C-alpha cells in the first residue's frame, strides 16, 4: 500500500520559472491529508531553504525545509553510514559543505578520506589538480550526481558529471555517484521519511532517472508527461512505470 510520496520537481512541479498545471493542488492535497512526502532533487547547490523559497515564489506555500532531499544531503547521509568521522576535500558549493558539516565531517586539504564533487561555478585548474592528487594518494572518489549539463536560460551549463569526467580522465578512477538514477538516493529518501520503499510512490518526468531509480529501490513509480517524456518515448525503455499521468494534479494517492 502506498502511504508516502517522493517526487521530483523539475518537469513535475515547475518547468523553468513556470508552475505546472495541477502542481499546487497536488502539494496542498498532500499537506491537507498529512501524507508524508519529500521533494527529491539532484541539485546539490541549493539548500532546502533555497528550494522552499523557490516554490514559494511560484505560489506554493505551506512547505518546510524538511520536505526536501538534495543529492548533497543524500551524499552526506551515505558517507556518514560508511564512516563515522572523515576528512573531505570538496569541489562544490556551500550547500554541500553544510551538509557534510552537519554529519560531523571536516573539510580538509590534508590527506582527505574522500574527494566529494558536485557542480561548482568556481571550479578551477587548481582544484582539479588537488582532487587528482588526493585520489592518486588513496582518497575515495564520490560524486553527488551524474548530470553532465544543466539546461539554463541561454543554453547548457556544465554540471557535476563534467567535472567528475575530468577527474576520472586524469586518475583512471570512476566515482561512486549517489544521486539519481542511483536507487540509493531513493532509499535514503524513504529512510528520511521513516517508511519502507514499498510504501512509497516515486513521481517523476524522466524514465532514465526517476522511474528506473524508484523501480530499483522497490517503490511504485508514477510517470508524469508534463516534463521531458512523451507517450511515444515510453516504448524505448525496457521497463515501464506503474502509472502514467498527464500531470501531478491527476494523481489520487488513495487509489494507488
Catalytic residue list contains 236: no
Instruction: State yes or no: 8 annotated in a binding site.
Output: yes
Residues between 5 and 24 that touch Mg ion (CB under 5 A): 8, 10-11
CA–CA distances in Å: residue 106 to residues 183, 184, 245: 27, 23, 44
Close Cβ partners of 80 (under 8 Å, ≥ 6 residues apart): 103, 104, 105
Closest to 99 measured CA to CA, from 116, 112, 124: 116
Q: Closest residue (Cβ) to Mg ion? A: 11
176 grid coordinates: 561512486
> CA-CA distance, 184 to 154, in Å (whole number)?
33
Q: Confirm or reject binding of residue 147 to Mg ion (CB under 5 A).
A: no
Instruction: State yes or no: 205 annotated in a binding site.
Output: yes
Q: Which CB, 90 or 202, lies closer to Mg ion?
A: 202
Q: Which CB, 11 or 22, lies closer to Mg ion?
A: 11
Instruction: State yes or no: 50 annotated in a binding site.
Output: no
Neighbours of 237 (CB within 10 A): 13
Q: Which residues pair with 140 in a beta bridge?
A: 114
Catalytic residue list contains 147: no
| Minimal distance, residue 106 CB to Mg ion, in Å | 34
> CA-CA distance, 199 to 4, in Å (whole number)?
6
How many residues at the interface with Mg ion, by CB under 5 A?
Answer: 4
Binding mask 182-221 vs Mg ion (x if CB under 5 A, - otherwise)? -----------------------x----------------
Q: Which residues are documented as binding site for Mg(2+)? A: 8, 10, 205
- Residues annotated as catalytic (active site), given as ranges: 8, 10
Which residues are near Mg ion by CB under 5 A? 8, 10-11, 205
Amino acid at each position: 500500500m502506498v502511504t508516502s510520496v517522493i517526487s521530483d520537481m523539475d518537469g513535475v512541479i515547475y518547468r523553468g520559472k513556470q508552475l505546472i498545471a495541477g502542481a499546487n493542488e497536488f502539494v496542498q492535497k498532500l499537506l491537507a491529508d498529512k501524507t508524508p512526502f519529500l521533494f527529491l532533487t539532484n541539485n546539490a547547490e541549493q539548500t532546502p531553504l533555497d528550494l522552499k523559497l523557490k516554490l514559494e515564489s511560484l505560489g506554493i506555500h505551506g512547505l518546510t525545509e524538511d520536505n526536501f532531499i538534495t543529492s548533497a544531503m543524500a551524499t552526506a547521509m551515505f558517507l556518514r553510514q560508511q564512516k563515522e568521522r572523515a576528512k573531505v576535500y570538496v569541489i562544490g558549493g556551500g550547500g554541500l559543505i553544510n551538509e557534510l558539516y552537519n554529519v560531523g565531517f571536516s573539510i580538509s586539504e590534508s590527506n582527505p578520506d574522500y574527494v566529494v564533487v558536485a557542480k561548482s561555478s568556481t571550479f578551477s585548474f587548481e582544484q582539479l589538480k588537488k582532487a587528482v592528487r588526493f585520489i592518486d594518494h588513496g582518497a575515495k572518489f564520490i560524486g553527488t550526481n551524474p548530470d553532465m549539463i544543466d539546461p539554463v536560460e541561454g543554453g547548457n551549463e556544465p554540471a557535476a558529471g563534467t567535472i567528475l569526467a575530468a577527474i576520472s580522465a586524469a586518475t583512471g578512477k570512476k566515482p561512486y555517484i549517489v544521486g539519481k538514477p542511483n536507487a540509493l538516493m531513493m532509499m535514503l529518501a524513504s529512510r528520511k521519511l521513516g517508511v519502507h520503499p514499498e510504501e512509497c510512490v516515486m513521481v517523476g518526468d524522466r524514465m532514465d532517472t526517476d522511474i528506473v531509480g524508484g523501480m530499483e529501490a522497490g517503490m511504485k513509480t508514477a510517470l508524469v508527461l508534463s516534463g521531458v517524456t512523451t507517450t511515444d518515448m515510453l516504448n524505448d525503455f525496457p521497463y515501464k512505470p506503474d502509472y502514467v499521468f498527464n500531470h501531478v494534479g491527476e494523481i489520487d494517492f488513495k487509489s494507488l
